[in-house]
Amino acid sequence: MRRAASASSADNSGASSRRRKMMADSESIEEVAVIGNTDITPTEAENNIVNTMVERGTSLLKKMEISVAEAEKRTGKNTVNMQETYTVYLIETRPAESVSEGGTPATPDTLWRRYSEFELLRTYLLVTYPYIIVPPLPEKRAEFVWHKLSADNLDPDFVERRRVGLENFLLRVASHPVLSNDKIFFLFLTEEKGWREAVLETGFQDKVDSRLKSLNATFRVKNPDKRFTDLKQYSDELNTVISQLLRARAKVADRLYGVYKVHGNYGRVFSEWSAIEKEMGDGLQSAGHHMDTYAASIDDILEEEEHYADQLKEYFFYTDAVRAVCRKHELIQYELELAAQDLAYKKQQKEELVTGTVRVFSLKGMTSKLFGQESQEQRESRLTALEQNIQEGEAALKQKNAECREFVQTAWEDIERFKEQKNKDLHEALISYAIMQISMCKKGIQVWSNAKECFNKM
């Protein structure tokens, strides 16, 4: 059922005032310096409340309740004027303090978003906050599926799991000490129209690092930070482990589904057998019903299992976010090394010009031998230019050093936060999965115990 996305003018006025209040709360945050994108423009700074300012321990989730309430399939024309079917998701928000004890919750503000808009938001966050492990989105198309699970991205069960995943993504961002205070994120939650234009106006797309540039830095950086190198290796290994775990789980689910459904044959046989027996008929019929119940229970069991599989998938996708931070550090380190190398070369040129000795072969050295030495005036002019270049190079190196130090400091703070979150989440997920498996086995034992009682009464 689609919920109404509009209300009366009085409700709209109240919603607008609530949004203004929450925006004002966000803008009154105490300023604490944290590194942001060093190329940020004045426009971006205006559109981004806390790209470089954040009050520790605060988050939007303390001020606002957020949920993705439902999904709806729609049909319309795409950018090339072709008909397409797609899914939209209803985001509901309301002030957290709006519900008094025993009172009625305020009517939530609502808007619809497509999955592609969630993708645009996450890309913006990745570029604007390169030192943060940005929470991943749920899968766009089903991965690690078993034969009974549909890989169709419009399948109702898949859409429902994605709805849960998108809500989890919003809650992750809204609870993050930095990301939660971003103005573009706030607009994503509260302004249905004009949001896309607002995010594109930040110019974040111009700051996306090219794959070639990042790959070049990976192979050419000379002094990589061992902490980031180890983290990148750990992320690769975690990705492999979770991938293998999900594949193993899919195979088990496939076979378990078959085993349970085959138990339905027991039910059919016992029912047919009961028809030819007088004294044993009732017991066989009852046992058959228990077998049918057992065979049908696997659907709910595997549906619950998908919930735990999605929790593992989240961290499977998280590994890409971790690697993105490591790649950004490699790029910053590489740029620092290039700045140091360029400065050293300029100082060498100055030394050669002052002493008149050329330590390495150069085209200018050969030119001097062929066409004679420079005049004193030419040498002084070159020396002045080199000294100016050296000063600029020293300033550039100092800036790159500061940028690298700040990136390492802020990135490592978020990495430590992520590690704590990861350990807690995976610990709880694995324990819950084990409890579910134990419960499933107990149900199987109970079914056969009930069947045994039926046989005893024959």
The pLDDT score that the predictor gives to residue 151 is 57
Report whether 275 contacts 281 (CB < 8 A): yes
242 three-class SS = helix
Minimum mean pLDDT range among 36-40, 143-147, 224-228, 262-266? 36-40
| Rounded Cα–Cα distance for residues 216 and 450 (Å) | 66
Paired sense of beta strands 83-95 and 64-77, if any: antiparallel
Q: Assign 205 a pLDDT band (cuts: 50, 70, 90).
A: confident
Per-residue pLDDT of 331-348, as tens digits, reads 899 888 889 998 888 888
Q: What is the CATH number of domain 222-356+380-457?
A: 1.20.1270.60
Give the residue-averaged pLDDT of 15-32.
45
> What does the pLDDT read at residue 51?
31
pTM of this prediction exceeds 0.85: no
Q: Which pLDDT score is estimated for 45?
A: 39
Pairwise CA distance, residues 137 & 233, whole Å: 22
Residues of the chain with pLDDT > 90: what percent?
40
pLDDT at 141: 78
Which amino acid, one-letter code, is at 261?
K
Angle separating helix axes 156-175 and 298-355, nearest 10 degrees: 50
- Residue 48 banded pLDDT, cuts 50, 70, 90: very low
Per-residue pLDDT band for 101 (boundaries 50, 70, 90) equals: low
If you average pLDDT over every residue of the chain, what do you get?
80
What is the structure's pLDDT at 321?
A: 96
Does the domain made of 55-98+105-216 have the CATH classification 3.30.1520.10? yes
Q: Give mean pLDDT, residues 113-126.
A: 95
Q: Comparing C-alpha atoms, which of 257, 287, 252, 260 is closest to residue 271?
A: 287
Mean local confidence (pLDDT), 209-223: 69
* Segment of 74-78, 188-192, 209-213 carrying the highest mean pLDDT: 188-192
Q: What is the mean pLDDT of residues 83-106?
A: 78
Please state which of the ranges 245-259, 330-344, 358-372, 402-416 shows the lowest mean pLDDT: 358-372
In a 3-state reduction of DSSP, which class is residue 138? Answer: coil
Residue pair 198/185 in contact (Cβ under 8 Å)? The answer is no
Domain-wise residue ranges, the chain: 55-98+105-216, 222-356+380-457
Could you read off the pLDDT of 137-187 as tens digits, one per residue?
A: 998 877 666 555 555 677 888 888 899 999 999 999 999 999 999 999 999
Residue 196: which H helix or E strand, with range?
Answer: helix 195-201
Model pLDDT, residue 183: 93
The per-residue pLDDT for 6 is: 40
pLDDT band at 304 (very low <50, low <70, confident <90, very high): confident
pLDDT tens per residue, range 176-197 = 999 999 999 999 999 988 899 9
pLDDT at 23 over 50: no
All residues at 6 or more sequence positions from 40 whose CB lies less than 8 Å from its CB, including other chains: 48, 51, 52
The whole-number average pLDDT for the span 10-31 is: 46
